[in-house]
Amino acid sequence: MTRGAGPLAGLRIIEIAGIGPGPFCGMLLADLGADVVVVDRIEPNGETADLGPAAVTNRGKRSIAADLKSPGDVAMVLDLVGGADALIEGMRPGVMERLGLGPDACLARNPALVYGRMTGWGQEGPLAHAAGHDLNYIALSGALWYAGQPGEPPITPPSVVGDVGGALYLAVGLLAGVMNARQTGTGQVVDSAIVDGSAHMLNLLLALKAIGHMVNERGQSILDGPHWYSTYRCSDGQFVSVGSVEPKFYRLLREKLGLLDEPAFDDGNAIERWPDLKDRFAELFAMRPRAEWCALLEGSDACFAPVLNPDEAAGHPHMVARGVYQVQDGVLQASPAPRFSGTPVTAIGAIPRRGADKTEVLAEWCSGAREVAAE
């Protein structure tokens, strides 16, 4: 278990159980050594449902169980708030207030608390109370626009891009808030909305748009149109990627593909020729299996990588050398990231049994180490 080790050792986080970006944010903080306590819900039958080793985003945390409609359990959570640095919740706006655990109640108990709110649309605005998922948030923010080809609808992202992006912004916000609270003694609310974060990440492309390298028409910009920045099917049905943006890398790619003597490829920025040159690349890559292209191009400055599934990625020599993936209890998981020289964290924390840590957590966190009735 990484708790007690890592750069965030000593940081105490309460996480109100939820789905998606909130638990992911809690996992990230726990990976880095924070003491993250999940307040899991008690089921109607009075039991808690364990997900076992599949609950990867609960790794490294501790768990208590609570009925948040019970005044006694709400009081218990407020006791925990008194000893916490930050809180994570991902309810719709107003839900935590109705439970008696909103920012006002929690900050009254602990004025230095950083109260992290994770939603899709944010706490305010016309859509604040509407349902949605990460695909909707990145669509509205503009971040989904370039994920597609001319005349075709945008492609659904291959992973929960919005959820993870939202979680990372929440993590940064919480840590920034804790730093400020330790200097000033005053906590605050962090409103982390996926729609905000995905728009913020779009600044990378907006900078290119400002100098004319990205336009609104799909297939006409340097990151969604050229033959030298795309993926291609190989003869065995597998795929490879090339991203030879810079001229020197593009020249090396042409050299390795045997295309230096073909003048059609001389001007890699000739937008009107991109469709034809992309077809030519497609024909070329379809002539060999992926393994042969890896042997020719991988590790060179041609900016190449095979498109791997997660199991293949875990076994790739580069990923193995860096220990990017681990298998714990039969479940493939990505290792903690990023990496720290002075306070390294490499081990994956154990996944707690729901509700198992109540007595221990209350004794450690609550002033006066209150007595806990046997359950």
Alpha-carbon radius of gyration of the chain: 25
Residues 15, 329: Cα–Cα separation, whole Å = 24
Domain of 360, in residue numbers = 12-202+336-365
Cβ burial of 22 (10 Å; 0-12, 13-18, 19+) is buried
Residue numbers of the chain with a pLDDT score lower than 70: 1-4, 43-51, 158-160, 367-375
Query: What pLDDT score does 47 carry?
Result: 58
Q: Do residue 58 and residue 124 come from a single domain?
A: yes
Asked if residue 357 is part of any domain, the answer here is yes
Q: Are residues 146 and 81 in the same domain?
A: yes
Q: Are residues 343 and 301 in the same domain?
A: no
Tell me how crowded residue 55 is: count the other CB atoms within 10 A of its CB.
18
Q: Which amino acid is at 14?
A: I
172 and 301: one domain?
no
Is the domain of 181 the same as that of 57?
yes
Neighbours of 370 (CB within 10 A): 10
133 is catalytic: yes
Based on the fold, state whether residues 251 and 103 are members of the same structural domain: no
The reply to whether 66 and 110 lie within a common domain is yes
Looking at the fold, whether 55 and 145 belong to one and the same domain comes out as yes
Rounded Cα distance, 103 and 111, in Å: 10
- The answer to whether position 40 is within a domain reads yes
Query: Which among 24, 38, 29, 23 has a CA at the least distance from the CA of 9?
Result: 29
pLDDT value of residue 13: 98
Tokens found for residue 303: 């900016």
Closest CA to 327 of 348, 308, 352, 351: 348
Digit-coded pLDDT (tens) for 341-357: 999 987 889 999 888 99
CATH number of the structural domain spanning residue 157: 3.40.50.10540
Cα end-to-end distance, the chain, whole Å: 26
Q: Do residues 192 and 102 share a domain?
A: yes
The angle that helices 21-31 and 161-184 make with each other, rounded to 10 degrees, is 60
Can 163 be counted among the known catalytic residues? yes
71, 173: one domain: yes
Annotated active-site residue in 104, 129, 133, 329 = 133
Residue-wise pLDDT for 214-241, tens only, equals 999 888 998 889 999 999 999 999 999 9
Amino acid at 35: D
Domain of 253, CATH number, reads 3.30.1540.10
| CB-based contacts of 212, cutoff 8 Å, min separation 6 | none
Residues 173 and 29 in one domain: yes
Give the pTM: 0.89
Residues 131 and 270 in one domain: no
Query: What is the reported pLDDT for 366?
Result: 85
User: What pLDDT was estimated at residue 241?
Assistant: 96
C-beta neighbour count of 211 within 10 angstroms: 7
**The one catalytic residue among 35, 85, 134, 163:** 163
Flag whether 118 is in a domain. yes
**Nearest Cα residue to 223 out of 274, 173, 288, 186:** 274
pLDDT number for residue 322: 94
- Find out whether the peptide bond into 338 is cis, omega within 30 degrees of 0: yes
Residue 213 forms part of a structural domain = no
How many domains does the chain divide into? 2
In a domain, 331, yes or no: no
Long-range contacts of residues 334-342, Cβ cutoff 8 Å, at least 24 apart: 336/2, 336/6, 336/31, 336/32, 337/31, 340/6, 340/7, 340/32, 342/7
